[in-house]
Chains A and B, each alone.
Chain A
Amino acid sequence: MTELYPVQLTVNGMAYARTIEPRLLLSDFLRHELGLTGTHVGCEHGSCGACTVLMDGQAVRSCILFAVQADGHEITTVEGLAANSARLHPLQEAFRAAHGLQCGYCTPGFLMTLIPFLEENPTPSEAEIRDALSGNICRCTGYQNIVDAVLKVEIGD
Chain B
Amino acid sequence: MKPAPFAYFAPRSLDEALALLQEHGYEAKLLAGGQSLIPAMNFRLAQPAALIDINRIDALSFLEPASDGGLRIGAMTRQRTVERSALVAERAPLLHATMPFIAHMQIRNRGTLGGNLAHADPASELPAVMVALGARFRLQSQRGARWVNAADFYVGLFATTLEADEMLVEIAVPPLPPRTGWSIQEIARRRGDYAIVGVAATATLNADGRCHAARLVYLSVGEGPIQAHDAVAALHGQAPTAAVIAAAMRGASQRIEPLGDIHATPAYRRQLIEVLGRRALTEAFARVQPT
Contacts and interface: CB of A to CB of B under 8 A. Distances in A.
A33 to B, nearest CB: 14
A157 interface: no
Contacts of B105: 59, 113, 117, 132, 135
A55 B34 CA distance: 15
B53 interface: yes
B6 A60 contact: no
Contacts of B1: 44-45
Interface string A94-129: 000000000000000000010001000000000000
- Indicate the member of B42, B51, B105, B110 with the most A CB atoms within 10 Å: B105
Nearest to B41: A23
Nearest to B4: A23
Contacts of B6: 22-23
Contact of A61 (B31, B43, B107, B192): B107
A60 B109 contact: yes
Contacts, number: 86
Given A58-B109, A64-B34, A131-B191, A45 B103 contact: no
Contact of A65 (B8, B10, B38, B80): B38
Nearest to B108: A135
A64 B109 contact: no
A19 interface: no
B103 A135 contact: yes
Contacts of A23: 2-6, 41
A132 B109 CA distance: 13
A23 B38 CA distance: 10
Given A59-B105, A59-B109, A64-B35, A134 B191 contact: yes
Interface size class of A (residues with CB under 8 A): 20 to 34
Nearest to A61: B106
Contacts of B106: 49, 52, 59-61, 113, 135
Contacts of A68: 8, 10, 53
Given A5-B8, A23-B4, A135 B104 contact: yes
A153 to B, nearest CB: 18
A151 interface: no
Contacts of A22: 6-8, 51
Given A60-B110, A135-B105, A65 B42 contact: no
Interface residues of B, number: 32
B104 A64 contact: no
B42 A44 contact: yes
Interface string A1-45: 011010000000000000001110100100000000000000011
A126 B1 CA distance: 35
B82 to A, nearest CB: 15
A46 interface: yes
- Indicate the member of B5, B190, B192 with the most A CB atoms within 10 Å: B5
A5 B31 CA distance: 17
Contacts of A64: 34-35, 38-39, 42, 110
9 contacts: A2-B5, A3-B7, A22-B51, A23-B5, A44-B42, A52-B106, A61-B110, A65-B110, A134-B191
What are the 8 closest A-B residue pairs judged by CB atoms, nearest first? A135-B104, A22-B8, A45-B39, A134-B191, A64-B38, A44-B1, A2-B5, A23-B3
